[in-house]
């Protein structure tokens, strides 16, 4: 799903989700251009994808947040998400 600034005639954000075979879903990516943050575009994108999940009867949703992008956590918390697992990455 894409958010578009009709006046500026450009895309300003998007959200991508996927449904796994077990009827669990994942929000793969949510992005809003920096100059459009704070205008509730992320909220609107999340609500739209939640509508899709509801139609598909999805109840278990996962979202990954990359280190360095912690500013988005408040948005997710507002929509009922909470940290469940912290994955660590390393090399041997």
Domains: count for the chain: 1
pTM of the complete model: 0.84
pLDDT of residue 9: 96
Q: Cα–Cα distances in Å, from 30 out to 37, 57, 90? A: 12, 21, 25
Whether residue 88 is contained in a domain is answered as no
pLDDT of 90 above 70: yes
Which comes out higher in pLDDT, residue 85 or 11?
Answer: 11
Q: What are the pLDDT digits (tens) for 59-78?
A: 889 898 888 888 999 999 99
pLDDT of 21 above 80: no
Percent of the chain with pLDDT strictly greater than 90: 61
13: domain CATH number is: 3.40.630.30
Q: Are 18 and 49 in contact (CB under 8 A)?
A: no
């Amino acid at each position: 799903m894409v958010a578009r600034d009709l006046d500026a005639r450009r895309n300003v954000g998007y959200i991508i989700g996927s449904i796994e075979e077990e009827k669990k879903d994942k929000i793969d990516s949510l992005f809003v251009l920096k100059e459009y943050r704070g205008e509730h575009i992320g909220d609107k994108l999340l609500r739209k994808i939640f509508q899709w999940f509801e139609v598909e009867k999805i109840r278990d949703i996962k979202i990954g947040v990359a280190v360095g992008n912690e500013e988005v956590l408040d948005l997710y918390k507002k929509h009922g998400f909470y940290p469940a697992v912290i994955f660590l990455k390393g090399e041997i």
